Amino acid sequence: MKKNAITIAIAALLLVIFALLLLTFQVRQSEVVVVSTFNKPTTTITNAGLFLKWPWPVQSLNRFDQRVQTFEDSFREIPTSDKSMMLMSVYVGWKISDAKIFLPTFPGGSALAAQRQLGEIIASAKAAVVGKHDLSEFVNSDASQLKFAAIEKEITESAQGELAKLNYGIRIEFLGIKRIGLPESVTQSVFERMKAERTKYITEAIAKGDRDAAQIKSAADRAAAELVNNAEAAAKRIEGEGNAEAAKTLAVFQQNPELAIFQLQLEALKTSLNQKATLFFDERTPPFDLFKNLPAAPHSAEK
């Protein structure tokens, strides 16, 4: 009896496990699950967790990766609006936006088939957008003339609009230019054009430098002339003031010539005695005659 009870318990446990495997399923964080009832998509589950279902053949599960998937399209020649040829490829990030629509659109919900179809749509959008722009907007020595961001946005919007119209259940998350190249037939002409543009910029820079130098020199000449004029005016003013003072002194000296002579002698004597030296002079020679008949020193008189 004891062995039969253990066998029954194990059988019951296995039956419960088997029932759970048939009637439940788990959804991971990185996936989306479409539940089909009698092969018709009925429910889409995007949240992670454990869920109930009817066993096959009533219900079946289709699992899809809901993370962003990336690829690079082909590096092919595309004509520009100015009839030049260029090579360009883009990188793309896309994801399944509606798994319920995606499943019947692509056989077996194949992500590879969806990526191939998306690649064709992007190639068409890329050709249409590039055909609206000149080659100089892709290859240019002047960075301000490049329009990569605007072109990427145009390609994305064009491809996104086509996907919405076809209703594939997928969405572009990001798109950017990966590589740009030039065919050998175009390379030389592009280099010549870039060289001409560089020469033009150099010529303009030299001309601007010459204009700036001329302006600086002109300003310096004006400043120098103004300084000279101010200095000459100040010199004339000082000379005039000196002449006026000299005229006043001359008038005084004309009234008293002896005072003038005495003043000159004092100035000459002062100049002679400014230097440290021993002087030998004749008392009778002006201005040294001033030393004649000097009053005696007080201590000499006491003696």
User: Domain containing 131 — which CATH number?
Assistant: 3.30.479.30
154 and 227 together in one domain: no
In this structure, the answer to whether residues 84 and 178 fall within a common structural domain is yes
Q: What is the mean pLDDT of residues 217-229?
A: 87
Amino acid at 178: K
Residue 188 is assigned to a structural domain of this protein = no
Q: How many domains does the chain have?
A: 4
Residue 156: give the domain boundaries.
69-182
Q: How would you classify the pairing of strands 85-96 and 170-181?
A: antiparallel
List residues bridging with 192 in a β-sheet: none
pLDDT category at 276 given cuts 50, 70, 90 is low
- Give how far the C-alpha of residue 183 lies from the chain's centroid of Cα atoms, to the nearest Å: 31
**What is the model's pLDDT at position 281?**
60
Structure tokens at 65: 């990766």
More reliable by pLDDT, 210 or 275: 210
Kindly report the average pLDDT of the chain as a whole number.
Answer: 80
pLDDT at 303 over 50: no
- Spatial separation of the C-alpha atoms in residues 288 and 282, rounded to whole Å: 7
Indicate if 165 and 200 belong to the same structural domain: no
Q: Is residue 73 part of a domain?
A: yes
| Poorest-pLDDT segment among 16-20, 30-34, 164-168, 201-205 | 16-20
Model pTM?
0.56
Q: Distance between CA atoms of 109 and 99, rounded to whole angstroms?
A: 8
- Specify whether 102 is located in the same domain as 12: no
6 vs 3, 10, 126, 252, 297, CA distance in Å? 5, 6, 70, 151, 153
The answer to whether position 299 is within a domain reads no
Average of per-residue pLDDT across 174-203:
76
What per-residue confidence (pLDDT) applies to 301? 47
- The Cα 185–Cα 190 span in angstroms is 10
Q: Which of 96, 104, 45 is nearest to 69 (CA)?
A: 96
Based on the fold, state whether residues 250 and 267 are members of the same structural domain: no
